[in-house]
Amino acid sequence: MVLLLAATVLLVVSGCAALLIPQSSRWPNAVGAGGAVSGCLLGLIPAARTLLGVPSSSLHLAWQIPGGSFFVELDALSAFFLLPILGLSALAAVYGSEYLLAYREKKWLGPPWFFFNLLVASMVLVVVARNGMLFLMAWEVMALASFFLVTFEDETDSVREAGWTYLVATHLGTAFLLAFFLLLGRGSGSLDFDRLGAAPAQASLLFLLAVVGFGTKAGFMPFHVWLPEAHPAAPSHVSAVMSGVMLKTGIYGLVRLLSVLGPPPLWWGWLLCGIGVTSGIFGVLFALAQHDLKRLLAYHSVENIGIITLGLGVGVLGISTGSPTLAVLGFAGGLLHVVNHAIFKGLLFLGAGAVAQATGTREIDHLGGLLKRMPWTGATFLIGAVAISGLPPLNGFVSELLIYLAAFWGVTFTGSATAVPVLGVITGLALIGGLAAACFTKAFGIVFLGEARSDHATHAHDPGVAMRLPMVVLAAACVLIGCFAPWIVAALAPVIGTATGLPVETVRANLAPAMRPLLFVVLGTLGLAVVTALIAAWRRWLLADRRVEESPTWDCGYAQPSPRMQYTASSFAQPLTDLFGLLLQTRYRVVPPVGFFPRVASLATDTPDVCSEYLYRPLFTGIGRGLSSLRWLQHGRVHLYVLYIALTLLILLIWKLG
């Protein structure tokens, strides 16, 4: 615990030092990034030791703040979430040290490093806090630090709008959490987590408050609207951290506080499964319809949060029905997907940042042919795309396989009250996987394959070592988790035990049904690697004594093919956007070809977020109109404002005395 607190202090101090250094193009970058990497590596030591079996440690100090105390604890569940938080943040800091240099002529780099280090420190405090007041303070610091990072390029109107959307959404979520802790603390007489407990009559209300409060941060549909706005606006290394690990603090909060609400009724699991299926399917559908690469990735975060929620929902169903195998496999899949999503989504956002910086655009339709010009970025992006699509043998497949196994177990060995929702989980997960594969075929194919569609793409090149290295490390992690899946899943037993309340021995026994399929994954991976190596060796042997020439790809007989003849993002996705047109409400702008040799023809699509368009925009417009009728109260006369305050105090005094 001492090492972890020292790491947190190092993060904050180095961030402050970067802020205090006078405007310079080099030193704030070096101090901020160096402090972030050092702090994260220092914090990884106690987190790894706890996961390897060192007993939990805690620190409890009294505070003068009502209901508050500095109560922190590092147990297996906290250590599990710290691992991706600190690991991905360290890699993002290395990447950011080169990425931010592009802004050194027009921006002071001290503030972004101050807020980045503060964001990492606050996330650490969120997952080790064991007092409601301390938790909410860390939660608020995390929200404000990320807001200032999102608005890094605040000279752009769209960035400012994204920042305000994020700020409003995150504080609405915090309001629900405040109500959650106030109700929970009032019933328990304390805000310390080890003394919290909910009366059965209040448990369901508290659960709903937690789902909205934590779900807003996690990006549950329909509370996700801030996510596709804020993540593309932030610098790419910040997008990686926000999408890869900051969203997971919402998942952490839900898992941690489920244990204090008592035995869950069956409908809690149904609700989580419903949220998971909805978020997963809508997230991937909206991603499929996007033309902005980072916005596409942001919608995939909604999809993957849905997959994690599916795992947790199945796990809660297992606890409700007294089926330890269902609970263990569900939580194992959900929790492992937390780490997997941090790895491949961090990788994809870093790759998107490298593409955007090399080409000056994030528009998919302006790219193409980048694999030849950016081989490192293209190869690592491809690994991330395969992993996020849930294809074997990479890490995304392993966690989704665990959720499938849990669901098949639920269908086969439990009653109809559980079998029906888990059947929906199987169907939803299969649909999500298929659509995700289609979406990343579009993203990788149009961005990296074919011919360059613009000058932006023609002159692109790979970034430097500091930006390449984190992408290579994350791509390697995607492969290694797939290769060592049985042993990694077995090591999760203490974490699953903390989340479910089951003894570690029981967890290990109920993980057994997953071990054989996972072993087959490893053997299949090894077999695939051997076959690939043999084919490569055979090809080399065949070509050893022959003359090898390069020629253009077959062009279907066209006399003058051009890059404009390739598929665009709109035309590639059109069959699927048409199929789900009722849900997506895609708008088309079509200029059809006319005559035998048409000179002009085009297809463009625009898919607005239905929740923003048909739910939040009318709601906030109505609230704005309603509040505008009260503008007569605000007229700029100070003496009348003093009168308002005096009247308010008088009314409160009368109410108190009465």
Q: Per residue, what are the HEC states of 566-628?
A: CCCHHHHHHHHHHHCHHHHCCEEEEECCCCCCCCCCEEEEECCCHHHHHHHHHHHHHHHHHHH
Nearest in space to 247 (alpha carbons), one of 337, 374, 365: 337
The mean of the pLDDT values for the chain is: 88
The pLDDT value given to residue 23 = 66
The pLDDT value given to residue 252 = 93
Q: What share of the chain is helix, strand, coil (3-state, %, to 5)?
A: 75, 5, 20
Task: Tell me: pLDDT of 251 over 90.
Answer: yes
**Confidence band (pLDDT; 50, 70, 90) for 457?**
confident
**Confidence band (pLDDT; 50, 70, 90) for 272?**
very high
Nearest in space to 81 (alpha carbons), one of 125, 26, 116: 125
Packed helices 2-20 and 27-51: angle between N→C axes, nearest 10 degrees: 170
The pLDDT value given to residue 81 = 93
Of the listed ranges 67-71, 80-84, 135-139, 553-557, the least confidently predicted one is 553-557
The predicted model gives 227-243 an average pLDDT of 89
Name the DSSP class of 73.
E
Q: Which pair of structure tokens corresponds to residue 325?
A: 């195998």
HSE-CB of 346 using CA atoms within 13 angstroms: 40
The predicted model gives 317-335 an average pLDDT of 90
Whether the link from the prior residue into 393 is cis, omega within 30° of 0, is yes
**Confidence band (pLDDT; 50, 70, 90) for 415?**
confident
Q: How far is 98 from 284, CA to CA, in rounded Å?
A: 31
The predicted model gives 505-513 an average pLDDT of 87
Q: Helices marked H in 414-484 — which ranges? A: 416-448, 455-458, 465-483
Calculate the dihedral angle through the C-alpha atoms of 157, 162, 164, 166, rounding to the nearest 10 degrees: -170
Is the pTM value of this prediction over 0.95?
Answer: no
Task: Tell me: pLDDT of 656 over 80.
Answer: no
The pLDDT value given to residue 452 = 84
Task: Tell me: pLDDT of 37 over 80.
Answer: yes
Q: How far is 48 from 44, CA to CA, in rounded Å?
A: 6
Of all helices (H) and strands (E), which one includes residue 349? helix 324-359
Q: Which pair of structure tokens corresponds to residue 291?
A: 């033309």
Give the Å distances, CA to CA, from 121 to 39, 251, 409. 9, 18, 40
Task: Tell me: pLDDT of 1 over 70.
Answer: yes
The predicted model gives 407-435 an average pLDDT of 86
Packed helices 324-359 and 247-258: angle between N→C axes, nearest 10 degrees: 170
User: Any bridge partners for residue 59, and if so which?
Assistant: 72
Give the Å distances, CA to CA, from 318 to 205, 405, 406, 465, 504. 21, 13, 9, 47, 16
Q: Are 410 and 513 a contacting pair, CB within 8 Å? A: no
Of the listed ranges 29-43, 293-307, 566-580, 642-656, the least confidently predicted one is 566-580
How does pLDDT run across 53-90, given as a tens digit for each residue? Answer: 888 888 888 887 777 788 899 989 999 999 999 999 99
Q: How far is 482 from 478, CA to CA, in rounded Å?
A: 7
Nearest in space to 280 (alpha carbons), one of 226, 345, 220: 220
The predicted model gives 634-652 an average pLDDT of 86
HSE-CB of 368 using CA atoms within 13 angstroms: 17
Q: How far is 218 from 163, CA to CA, in rounded Å?
A: 17
Task: Tell me: pLDDT of 108 over 90.
Answer: no
The predicted model gives 491-518 an average pLDDT of 88
HSE-CB of 159 using CA atoms within 13 angstroms: 13
Q: 322 or 551: which carries more pLDDT confidence?
A: 322
The pLDDT value given to residue 441 = 92
Name the DSSP class of 51.
H
Please state, for a pLDDT cut of 70, what percent of the chain lies above it: 99
Q: How far is 647 from 658, CA to CA, in rounded Å?
A: 16
Q: In which region does residue 495 sit, left (phi positive, over 0), alpha (psi from -120 to 50) or beta (all else)?
A: alpha
Whether the link from the prior residue into 222 is cis, omega within 30° of 0, is yes
Nearest in space to 66 (alpha carbons), one of 159, 147, 131: 131
Q: How far is 72 from 135, CA to CA, in rounded Å?
A: 10
